[in-house]
Amino acid sequence: MYRLQPLASRSFIAVALDQCLPVSLPSLTGVRHKSQGAPTLERSGQMRFSTAEATVPAGRLHRKPREKTLTMDTLNPQVKAVEYAVRGPIVIKAGEIERCLEEGGRKPFSEVIKANIGDAHAMGQQPITFLRQVVALCTFPELMDSPSFPEDAKWRARRILQGCGGHSIGSYSASAGVENIRKDIAAYIEQRDEGVPSNWEDIYLTTGASDGIMTILRLLVSGKDSSRTGVMIPIPQYPLYSAAISEMEAVQVNYYLDEENCWALDINELHRAHQAAKQHCQPRVICIINPGNPTGQVQSKKCIEEVLHFAFEENLFVMSDEVYQDNVYSPDCQFHSFKKVLYEMGPEYFNSVELASFHSTSKGYTGECGFRGGYMEVINMDPEVKGQMLKLLSVRLCPPLSGQAAMDVIVNPPQADELSFQQFQQEKSSVLGALAEKARLTEEILNSVPGIKCNPVQGAMYAFPRIFIPPKATLGMQPDMLYCLRLLEETGICVVPGSGFGQKDGTYHFRMTILPPTEKLKMLLGKVRDFHLGFLKEFSALN
């Protein structure tokens, strides 16, 4: 149990009331936190050093101590400005509590449940056998002789290795990825989009989708003029976007999703945001996340058309983050790719709107986050700019080959006449079925709690419920930060405050994943309910 001790306006320290050491929470504003005061604890190396014998060059001691070159004062201010709540202070604190539990500390709970990040395997989801078979075969080709690996997996592994230098995934690939894999991806997109053409030379393998998103933004955000480049992002958003914008010192242009309307994207709001931004920057790019993260909505075809028409008219580069394209649960919803909708709008659009769309191995039914696999399809990019992008990618050499191989399996899964088809289908629908059930369950239980309102989780992997809490519930921090911190301390449940994603002023939310196993999720949601009622009671009394 912790008692909160406010220290300064936006910093605080949690003091343990049981036998654990005090744990600290670095504030969002970079206020020095407690553990930093104890270098001998932090740097055991130095402790040991002090007892070791070392040759000290004569006459070099007893001088003024050397100043550090890199301090908070000299640190790149753009780095300082970055915030990333999904792995932010709450999560750091969850790690501290976890360590405390491991060391035998007492808590009102026996484990920390990390519902902060879309990390399916960490929540117990099993890997898709076929994917792992193919990657294992690529990794250790001696397994090609093993009768326990199916021929369809071996066939795919052989084909991937044929595309690798020296037939080894230990060689660098071309910076855009292995050619065979790029071709498989293009074929997959054509099939997904019912015949809309995809050119494999428009496909770039990436180190997860984040890497691709950063690459495209880096082309668009112009050096010294960066503070003039506007990047339109949804609010709430996945904080990679705001972090990238901070790091590149671009201008974040917020368009708000309509919470009252299932987090729909309203075209009028796009116009409003764009008009307002034009006063102080040049909006050059619009980012869309569909299905939404953290908001879980699935965009309608009509809405996508409107966005693309808007981008066409306003000369915006379109970045469509479609990493949850396989995660659609609501029977009323369907995933429409931006590319396909653009095609259906006719050649004037399809041959002109600059569009980069992103996919990943980390989500969907595979959840292979650790492989850091992904791709982007980039259409209508100026050919010379494409050359420049390839040059930029080549400096990082290439995306990891095992991630590329994993991506290949996703776009080239077992077919109906292949040996592994049945098991693959069964595993895939088991994962997606469970997610759909958990999406429904989460929405239902959260909406049963007075003071919590949750839009339908139509897709993706998160609920982003609105929590109605007394505005005076702050103790020197954002009310939703306090809420999530207390939730963590009292129940061991780790979720991320809505402020990390952005929300309308005066509204509060949190993001939680729907990934824990069903029974654990039910238990978790029950605890959230009890906590919420208690929190409300405690802080209503203050008002």
Among residue numbers 33 through 72, which ones bind a copy of itself (CB under 8 A)?
Answer: 33, 36, 39, 42-46, 48-50, 52, 54-57, 60-61, 63, 65-72
Pairing, β 493-494 against β 113-114: parallel
Q: What is the DSSP string of 52-63?
A: S-----TT-SSS
Are 27 and 72 in contact, with CB atoms under 8 Å apart? no
Q: How far is the CB of 42 from a copy of itself (least distance, A)?
A: 7
Query: Which residue, 125 or 478, has its beta carbon nearer to a copy of itself?
Result: 125
The contacts of residue 530 (CB under 8 Å, 6+ apart) are none
Q: How far is the CB of 518 from a copy of itself (least distance, A)?
A: 16
Q: How far is the CB of 185 from a copy of itself (least distance, A)?
A: 13
> What is the layout of strands, in order, in the sheet containing 229-235?
203-206, 374-379, 355-360, 317-321, 282-289, 229-235, 251-256
- Site track for a copy of itself across 278-307, x = CB under 8 A: ------xx----------------------
Structure tokens at 1: 């149990």
Q: What is the DSSP letter of 332?
A: T
Structure tokens at 160: 């991937």
Q: Is 505 exposed, middle or buried (0-12, 13-18, 19+ CB in 10 A)?
A: exposed
Bridge partner residues of 5 (DSSP): 13
Residues 510-539 interacting with a copy of itself (rule: CB under 8 A): none
Does residue 218 belong to the site contacting a copy of itself (CB under 8 A)?
A: yes
Residues 316-335 interacting with a copy of itself (rule: CB under 8 A): 316-317
Return the residue of 13, 233, 401, 525 that touches a copy of itself, per CB under 8 A.
Answer: 401
Residues 143-182 interacting with a copy of itself (rule: CB under 8 A): 143, 146, 148, 164-166, 168-175
Residues 220-239 interacting with a copy of itself (rule: CB under 8 A): 220-224
CA distance 215 to 206: 9
Return the residue of 403, 456, 502, 516 that touches a copy of itself, per CB under 8 A.
Answer: 403
- Provide, for the chain, the percentages of residues in helix, strand and coil under a 3-state DSSP scheme, each rounded to the nearest 5: 45, 15, 40
Report CA torsion sign: 319, 114, 455, 521: positive
Return the residue of 18, 111, 382, 530 that touches a copy of itself, per CB under 8 A.
Answer: 382
Q: How far is the CB of 493 from a copy of itself (least distance, A)?
A: 16
Closest CA to 479 of 539, 543, 530: 539
Query: Which residue, 33 or 440, has its beta carbon nearer to a copy of itself?
Result: 33
Query: Which residue, 171 or 415, has its beta carbon nearer to a copy of itself?
Result: 171
Residues 347-366 interacting with a copy of itself (rule: CB under 8 A): 347-348, 350-354, 366
Are 150 and 133 in contact, with CB atoms under 8 Å apart? yes
Query: Which residue, 237 or 297, has its beta carbon nearer to a copy of itself?
Result: 237
Stretch that binds a copy of itself, among 202-210, 324-332, 411-419, 427-435 (CB under 8 A): 202-210
